[in-house]
Chains A and B, each alone.
Chain A
Amino acid sequence: MANEDYVEGGMNTSESYSYWRKVFQRLKKHKIAMVSLWVLVVIILMAVFAKPLSFGNNPYSYIKSVPWASRPELAPPGPGHPLGLDSMGRDAWSRLLYGGRVSLAVGFICSIVGAVVGLFFGLISGYFGGITDMLIMRFTDFMLSLPVLPLMIVLSAVIKGSLWTIIFIISIFSWMGVARLVRGEVLSLKEQEFTEAARAIGETPGRIMWIHLLPNSLAPVIVASTLAISGNIIYEATLSFLGLGIRQPTPSWGNMLNGAQTFMLTAPWLMWWPGLAIFVTTLAFNFLGDGLRDALDPRLYR
């Protein structure tokens, strides 16, 4: 029978590429993003393998004495303790590694929670429109207009912080961008005929949102969430630096800075490394997000 347009111009169907492979190929061309990706892989691996990497030291235990300093507190770097000891005589290197776990966990989890909540509100708001849209979007505007940092400080002072309370507090303020983004995306997807076609084959609104609208609006959410990770890491560091986030003795990059600030002049090396870790990680997430933005360009859908 008719096979009018089945002349395959060199495109082998067996090699038919998937969307994500194409995205990754594009990302590979983005040099800074790739460097950032590798840096992040290293940082994440360091956090994951904190225990074997910390030369048998424990971030919580006090070292009784080191041979190269008169007192273990604030001892400079030396054999077995590459970053020295902090003001309580604990190994700074192992605290840096374990602190990375906390900072990264906060960054990732808050971002994921923000994305999920944002997607939920955005999909409902965009799909149903009308009064639902109005209510959700005004609530979003309200949340966006709040002074985030002072509120976080107040909240974390009231709810005494464990790791999960910090995650909760940061997550509260991390979904609005995604919600707006997804709503906008849904508004345009809704006008595309495939949404109408889905309705015309009798699919329920829930299914249309879940299987048609959600995957199609995922690309900008991935970009926004990647960029949000660095923001969340900064929030955690800020709160911990102010002594309101992760409490001692649990290490985090933020509270390591807090512990180091008093001894800025006597033991400056204590400040460099957590500061550098925060700087490099957030920068890398930002670069990666930019790279993803280019790689996930919607024109790829063609």
Chain B
Amino acid sequence: MEKEVLLEVKDLKTYFYTEDGVVRAVDGVSFTMHKGEVLGLVGESGCGKSVTSLSIMRLVDAPGKIVGGQIIFKGEDLLKKSEEEMRKIRGSEIAMIFQEPMTALNPVYTIGDQIMEAILTHQDVSEEEAKKKTIELLDLVGIPDPEKRFDEYPHEMSGGMRQRAMIAMAISCNPDLLISDEATTALDVTIQAQILELMKDLQRKIGMAILFITHDLALVAEMADSVAVTYTGRIVEYSDVRSVFKNSHHPYTYGLLQSIPSLLSEKTKEPLPAIEGMVPSPYRMPKGCHFNPRCPFATDICRKEMPELKEVTPNHLVRCFHPVNVKEEVS
């Protein structure tokens, strides 16, 4: 299933130069997305997921700075583009939806006006056409009574409806890549499921690729084709979704999966196996593998050297000296 490559992030490095020192929020992240693919980017808070997405949009603000790497989108390096060229790409070719539907819409304009704005920014259409398109979009994202809702203000809508409106805005120009930055985290579970269903549905209809950023592994299992697990600004495990969930090789991913409660498990009465410790402070990264202080399998080499991201089994990359679970797969 070789598809056309849409986005190739190579060795991306985004650092924040704060008064307390340099924070390497994203430190050498590489991944490839094909057309129409859904890539799940998973990790705990502060692992550089959002910064990765903002870097792709080139929206990293001072004190943050993209210091290295390449972001090749449709064969062109976005990091070499001028601000003017980037503005044309934002919204039309790469769109983004945000975590907080409460604050991501401007309170002083109606939903319709804001979506129209996105259309008029990138497309050479008249206001009437834009309005018509907006109503179609509102309908497409499952907002009932779109003509009426067009004239409503964000505060008159519920969180789920606002997130739908955000999605309508994001897909208004048929982007090739949609970045969803924790887009469903702030919603409650039932609505979350509907929004995910909507995104999947739209992805099939429009054929856009989705970079799906979340800290929720369960959502990734449902949404993504492939998964990249990040830890302290680096990818630690990267493969297709089945392989990661069935045979996670990195102790971190393994730990994350273990810590998901399961109703069906016989061991429900036992405490959940949590990963010990916390994500290290960005100012004081441990030497060697950044996961070593929390890793049950850590040895001397883990405390000295940072492992490379290596192919452990075919198409399954892991950054670990002692990948777990490997033998089982060789059957």
Binding site for B on A (CB under 8 A): 1-6, 11, 13, 16, 19, 129-130, 192-194, 196-204, 211-212, 215-216, 301-302
Contact = CB atoms under 8 A, between A and B. Distances in A.
B106 A202 contact: no
Contact of B155 (A193, A204, A301): A301
Contact of A197 (B144, B151, B166, B198): B166
Interface stretch (B94-102, B275-283, B290-298): B94-102
Contacts of A302: 155
A16 B156 contact: yes
Interface string B189-201: 0110010011000
A44 B188 CA distance: 54
Interface residues of B, number: 47
Contacts of B88: 202
B142 interface: yes
A272 to B, nearest CB: 46
B104 interface: yes
Given A201-B90, A201-B121, A215-B109, 12 more contacts: A4-B160, A4-B191, A5-B159, A6-B161, A11-B156, A129-B62, A194-B105, A197-B96, A197-B104, A201-B91, A201-B118, A201-B169
A202 B152 contact: no
B92 interface: yes
A216 B89 CA distance: 27
Contact of A198 (B100, B106, B170): B106
Interface of B: 57, 59, 62, 86-92, 95-96, 98-100, 103-109, 117-118, 121-122, 142, 144-145, 148, 151-153, 155-156, 158-161, 166, 169-170, 190-191, 194, 197-198
13 contacts: A4-B190, A5-B159, A13-B148, A130-B62, A199-B90, A200-B95, A201-B121, A202-B90, A202-B91, A203-B91, A211-B109, A216-B108, A301-B107
A201 B120 CA distance: 11
Contacts of B161: 5-6
A194 B104 contact: yes
Contacts of B160: 4-5
A114 B190 CA distance: 51
Given A200-B90, A201-B169, A212 B106 contact: yes
Given A4-B160, A16-B156, A202 B121 contact: yes
A2 B96 contact: no
A200 B103 contact: no
Contacts of A192: 103
A5 B191 CA distance: 9
B59 A200 contact: yes
A204 B117 CA distance: 12
Nearest to A2: B194
A180 to B, nearest CB: 22
Q: Which 9 A-B pairs have the closest CB atoms?
A: A201-B91, A202-B90, A202-B91, A5-B158, A193-B104, A200-B96, A202-B87, A194-B106, A201-B118
A199 B90 CA distance: 8
A158 B203 CA distance: 71
A157 B169 CA distance: 58
A199 B53 CA distance: 13
Of B108, B151, B155, B191, most buried by chain A (CB within 10 Å of CB) is B108
Given A16-B152, A197-B166, A301-B155, A204 B87 contact: yes
A201 B98 CA distance: 12
Contacts of B151: 16
Of A11, A19, A197, A204, most buried by chain B (CB within 10 Å of CB) is A197
A202 B153 CA distance: 22
Contacts of A204: 87
B89 A3 contact: no
A1 B169 CA distance: 19
Contacts of A201: 90-91, 95, 117-118, 121-122, 169-170
B191 A197 contact: no
